[in-house]
Amino acid sequence: MTYPALVEPAAELTVDEVRRYSRHLIIPDVGMTGQKRLKNAKVLVIGAGGLGSPALLYLAAAGVGTIGIAEFDEVDESNLQRQIIHTQSDIGKSKAVSAKESIAEANPYVEVVLHEERLDNDNVMDVFRGYDLIVDGTDNFATRYMVNDAAYFLGIPYVWGSIYRFDGQASVFAPSMADDAPCYRCLYPEPPPPGMVPSCAEGGVLGVLCASIGSIQVNEAIKLLTGAGEPAIGKLVIYDALELEWRKLKVRKDPACRLCGPDADVTDLIDYEAFCGAISEDAADAAAGSTISVTQLEKMLGEREAGERDFVLVDVREPNEYEINKIPGSVLIPKGEFLNGNALGQLPADKQVVLHCKSGVRSAEALAVLKGAGFENSVHVGGGVVAWVNQVDPSQPSY
């Protein structure tokens, strides 16, 4: 199904712009009018990370006149494997500023607006207001639901993408453009249980996958802005990079959707952190009063070496993570072994068990299993190996 263009064309293109965009102008589906629409468009990209990097560069190269960047983070060396808008010299710099500088090099005719604050309920509506389209490059469920809801309330279509390891997804959510168009909640009515789906920081992502999905997002954005082709409204694109397999599924509007359905009860922004939950209630309860710091662990390890204390330190990360860095004296038992019960038989009942992971989320989930199995004096390390490297042993690499 085709849809009207989101944007009216600008008055004209300059001679320089005609030269720059000539390969667009000779495409009948874009042409002079379509390029003028792109020039007049205002697109907000949320995040200048894995998906935002290729999206921003290609939106700029395509001639989108105004590009907003909502990003509050700084460039880290671990970003450079996939976030191609940043370079070595940008490490430590604001991602938003770094992205703006790269866009200026790619296309000086684009106006860039920076929103260098974390999006939350207090500012998201003001940030979104005035844009024609939103391209979502977020990497957590709480922000995705907030983006979906805010875009719906403002009547702004948005292009969504998601990546994890070798898998990517993309779609367009635009209830304002058609009565039967679904929103993100129609596809995912509820977030996954806390701890069930690892983040990219925990599970990793193939760098080039970002380009695959980010370019799809820009392709959909151009179609929406110019009215060309059939946008992925009501469609879910799934890409398996390992099998080189693309699939396209139909997504229908959910008549029971809490946001866009006839009996919707989500009529305003909600507490998205509580809705999604960083960790499960069981994990939060288990960690309460049973969390130690890395400096406490360092002292305990010294006491164990001196024969003054005995405990088992268990790393619940995956084997490939254990190869990157580790806390000395730890043994590896991945979280999955706790969830299926196999880990319980590997642990001594007469010793305290101390758990850790990368940041403290997975170890809290494993701790809940241990507490439920009767290991009452077990604890976990808040901040995990990240805190250990930052505060105790900076000679080890971080990731």
- What H or E segment, with its residue span, contains residue 246? strand 245-250
Helix (H, G, I), strand (E, B) or coil at 135: strand
> Catalytic site residue 260?
no
Q: Give residue 173's identity as a one-letter amino acid code.
A: F
297, 314 Cβ separation under 8 angstroms: no
> Catalytic site residue 357?
yes
Bridge-based pairing of strands 311-315 and 167-173 is unpaired
Report the C-alpha dihedral over residues 36, 37, 40, 42, rounded to 10 degrees.
-150
- Which is catalytic among the residues 186, 210, 257, 357? 357
Residue 40 corresponds to which tokens in the numbers above? 């007049």
Helix (H, G, I), strand (E, B) or coil at 63: coil
Angle at 252 between CA 155 and CA 162, to 5 degrees: 70
Q: What's the chain's Rg over C-alpha atoms?
A: 24
User: Rounded to whole angstroms, how far apart are CA atoms 51 and 200?
Assistant: 12
User: Rounded to whole angstroms, how far apart are CA atoms 123 and 141?
Assistant: 18
- Which is catalytic among the residues 183, 186, 200, 257? 200
* Count of alpha carbons within 13 angstroms of residue 148, beta-carbon side: 29
Short-list 397, 121, 145, 99, CA closest to 259: 145
User: Rounded to whole angstroms, how far apart are CA atoms 296 and 177?
Assistant: 56
Catalytically active residues, by annotation: 200, 357
